[in-house]
Amino acid sequence: MARVFTPDKPVPQRPKSGPQSFGIELQQPKWVVKNMHRFREDPQQAEHGVAALLHMAETTLPEDVDAVLEANGAEAIVAAMQWHPETHTLQSLATKTLAALAAHSAAARRRVLEAGASEAWLEKSPA
């Protein structure tokens, strides 16, 4: 009697972006925050760091947003706004990121406000 080969069921791979992505494991928020402080003189580096944190805040799981806050992401964003007040793109991106973090939960909103964000930033942020 011949044996029939049945392949194993395929294991679905996690997507590279989106709510179930593995991106947060590759680029952890603590490294983004560390590099924002390390290259604080460069507005473009600050902008890239804020953009990375925005991506994490908008496209990952709630636990990942908590990881951004635990890595002092909100504090780093407010600091970047203070380092480069003349960089309008950074300012806009930063307010959008702070609003995205604050929208996560009441505790997250409190953490963002304690980091130095103002209520006006969170309300006027472009969606």
Q: Output the DSSP codes for 10-74.
A: PPPPPPSSSTT-SHHHHS-HHHHHHHHHHTTT-HHHHHHHHHHHHHHHHHS-HHHHHHHHHTTHH
pLDDT in tens, 29-64: 899 999 999 999 999 999 999 999 998 888 767 888
Q: What does the pLDDT average to over 6-16? A: 69
49 inside domain = yes
Position 106 in a domain: yes
Residue 91 inside a domain? The answer is yes
Q: What is the pLDDT of residues 78-95, one digit of tens each?
A: 999 999 999 999 999 999
Counting the structural domains of the chain, the total is 1
Pair of tokens at residue 75: 């504090």
Cα separation, 22 vs 34, in Å, equals 20
The CATH code of the domain that includes 41 is 1.25.10.10
Q: Is residue 113 part of a domain?
A: yes
Asked if the structure places residue 9 within a domain, the reply is: no
**What percent of the chain lies above the pLDDT cut of 70?**
82
Whether 66 maps to a domain, the answer reads yes
Domain that holds residue 45: 28-124
Do the domain assignments include residue 7? no
pLDDT of residue 26: 64
Is 20 domain-assigned?
Answer: no
Calpha distance 86→124 (Å, rounded): 18
pLDDT score of 21 more than 70: no
**What is the separation, in whole angstroms, between the first and last Cα of the chain?**
65
pLDDT of residue 62: 80
